[in-house]
Chain A
Amino acid sequence: MSALADFERVDSGSGGAVLRFTGNLSLASLGDLPDRLDAVEGDVSRIDLSQVERIDTVGAWVVHRFARDKEAPVEGLQPASQHLFDQVVAAEHPIELPRKPASPFVHLLSEVGDAVLTAFHTLYGLLGFFGATLIAFWNVARHPSRFRFNATVHRFEVVGVSALGIIGLMSFLIGIVIAQQGAVQLRQFGAEVYTINLLGRITLRELGILMTAIMVAGRSGSAFAAQIGTMKLTEEIDAMRTIGVSPMEALVVPRVLAVVMMLPLLGFYSALIGIIGGGLLCWVQLDIPPVTFVQRIREVVPLTDLWVGLVKAPVFGAIIAIAGCFQGMQVEADAEQVGRRTTIAVVQAIFLVIVLDAFFAVFFTQVGWI
């Protein structure tokens, strides 16, 4: 039934060559016809379609393209097919083929340039968002009735209480690892007992809060970006604005406040569990009884270590929450962006937390909290 599309060359004597098409000029039975047409050489004076059984728009296009290039008239179509052919011809317009990729070097340069520009753009936007958040806090402080107490408490639970399990488990294991690795190395100098110094100081000063920040960025920062991003897509944010509810006050303030309040608590909790984990290992492997362990901790860990950890925590919390909310607010257009922005929120939060941690380390050393 569906004869493959084909053509033959007929020399009609006076007027040069005639190209006569046969079979089904439709997409399904086109085969390699386009390629074979490209290979036709020499002048063609006429294109005869009277032997064609069926023609569809793709077939019409292929013939039209050939006829246009050879400047040959097309003849012999049934009226209905002629109508279709005319419609296809009428729909022709110049197209821009996708640009050829530039040379790898130029491509690399432009990629780097793009990345730098994007980085500055993001930093600029993040600063702006930070300012907007501060203004929102100020507004809420001036009109305390606009503070969303229930929403904030709910965030406390989601960000803080629900994270206790996973953060506890993680810190416990990290405490064990640090104590074990420390003990192995320090044993070479017969200084195993200093494992306690190592463990106590590093968990309180750095690791407790840093690991917690990373975990919260992964758990809550991403959730903020996805929630707010989806709300942006479904026009909930716009609806809020038109009703007169400020999204900054209703969505961002409770979230930022929750993370800022919860991170010091979670960080302290994490350090404590880490020390317990390490203490357990000291007891089992190094035969240091818990009472001695606690005494040693009290002797070797200065109180400033605790302060170092606790001062950093709210700052990290603010970064995580603001990065999450900011990226959520940047979502536009389509669902793919929600995923991308969520990823960016987490990466950005963790990166900024670590950069700031380095600054803090230098700062605290300078002020003498060694």
Chain B
Amino acid sequence: MTAPTLSHDDDVVICVRGLKNGFGEQIVHEDLDLDVRRGEILGVVGGSGTGKSVLMRSIIGLQTPIEGEIEVFGENTIGRDETEATEIRKRWGILFQGGALFSTLTVSENVQVPLKEYYPKLDQALLEEIAAYKVVMTGLPPEAAPKFPAELSGGMKKRAGLARALALDPELLFLDEPTAGLDPIGAAAFDELTASLQKTLGLTVFLITHDLDTLYAICDRVAVLADRKVIAVGTIPELLALDHPWIQEYFNGPRGRAAVSSVKANAGHATEDRG
């Protein structure tokens, strides 16, 4: 018997309904609803402390919510037993904020960890090869594969973390502030990488970010977290049409305007190139 699904739309990969999260007295989320559609890059924004990371942690099962239902790939993720949870875990990849690479393993071994865990029958030579092309696909130089995380720069750690997140060829990718702490060039390159991998691998991306440039450059839709819930989801023009003070300040503040103008300038260049 299958539990009735919340959303009968096959194109919804993540479906959150009535989520309530809190730590002791402090309530982080209340009555939060969110849908993530297949094949989109959904940006999640919100002020510090609005629970962006907590929302991600609840979806991936690291944090048990007080109330509410969460479905990923049409399956309820709360209160599952380990074997069922494992089946879902195989289908997603997660990039944590600091990369969260295992410090005692090399980059290549880090990428192999999920592969070995779920597919112990693959032989070592194939594992090495898979790790090698994944490392290159995420834009790292091949020489980085045998290095330990401590020998990598911050940007390279993020890429290595992404390579590990992509190890199982997931359908769904969670990125927690992927461009935080990167220089603007590195951040732009990472955005481009995310977009191109998303296109190549047909990923659905749940992307938490503070980076306005990332939002403008690669996100199909943006979800805004405020007042303990998702107050709006939509494309940036749709959000700008709303009359919420935080949204207005966020997108129309000095940084927001700068990001818009840079995107427009880039778009202009692109059309010139084509012409």
Contacts and interface: CB of A to CB of B under 8 A. Distances in A.
B103 A97 contact: no
A2 to B, nearest CB: 12
Nearest to A96: B146
A93 B145 CA distance: 11
A87 B139 CA distance: 12
B103 A95 contact: no
Contacts of B90: 28
Interface string B141-155: 010011011110000
Contacts of B129: 61, 65, 95
B250 interface: no
Interface stretch (A115-123, A150-158, A214-222, A329-337): A329-337
Contacts of A26: 169
Secondary structure class of chain B's binding surface, majority of residues: helix
Nearest to B139: A91
Nearest to B166: A57
The winner among B115, B166, B202 for most chain A CB atoms within 10 A is B202
Contacts of A97: 125, 128
Contacts of A335: 103
A97 B125 CA distance: 8
Interface of A: 26-28, 30, 32, 34-35, 56-58, 61-62, 65, 80, 83-84, 87-88, 91-98, 332-336
Given A34-B122, A58-B169, A97-B125, A334 B133 contact: no
A303 B95 CA distance: 69
The winner among A57, A80, A333 for most chain B CB atoms within 10 A is A57
B137 interface: yes
Given A91-B134, A336-B103, 20 more contacts: A34-B122, A34-B126, A57-B166, A57-B169, A57-B201, A58-B130, A65-B129, A83-B200, A87-B200, A93-B132, A95-B132, A95-B145, A96-B146, A332-B150, A333-B103, A333-B150, A333-B151, A334-B103, A334-B104, A336-B104
B225 to A, nearest CB: 30
A126 B136 CA distance: 42
11 contacts: A30-B119, A62-B126, A65-B129, A88-B133, A91-B136, A93-B132, A93-B133, A95-B129, A96-B146, A333-B103, A334-B149
A281 B105 CA distance: 55
B121 interface: yes
Interface residues of B, number: 32
A333 B130 CA distance: 27
A34 B126 CA distance: 8
A28 B91 CA distance: 10
B10 interface: no
A61 B123 contact: no
A29 to B, nearest CB: 11
B169 A27 contact: yes
B150 A87 contact: no
Nearest to A62: B126
A57 B137 contact: yes
A84 B169 CA distance: 12
Contact of A61 (B133, B146, B150, B202): B133
B201 A334 contact: no
A330 to B, nearest CB: 14
A59 to B, nearest CB: 8
Contacts of A62: 126
B168 interface: yes
Contacts of A95: 128-129, 132, 142, 145
Contacts of B137: 57, 87-88, 91
Contacts of B149: 334
A83 to B, nearest CB: 6
Nearest to A95: B132
A61 to B, nearest CB: 6
Contacts of A58: 130, 169
B169 A91 contact: no
- Which 8 A-B residue pairs are closest in the complex by CB-CB distance? A333-B150, A56-B169, A91-B136, A91-B133, A95-B132, A334-B103, A91-B137, A93-B142
Nearest to B90: A28
Contacts of B136: 91-93
B96 to A, nearest CB: 16
Contacts of B122: 34
A73 B128 CA distance: 24
Contacts of B145: 95
A90 B85 CA distance: 34
Nearest to B145: A95
Given A34-B126, A91-B133, A91-B136, A84 B200 contact: yes
B47 to A, nearest CB: 27
Interface in B178-236: 199-202
Contacts of A57: 130, 133-134, 137, 166, 169, 201
B121 A32 contact: yes
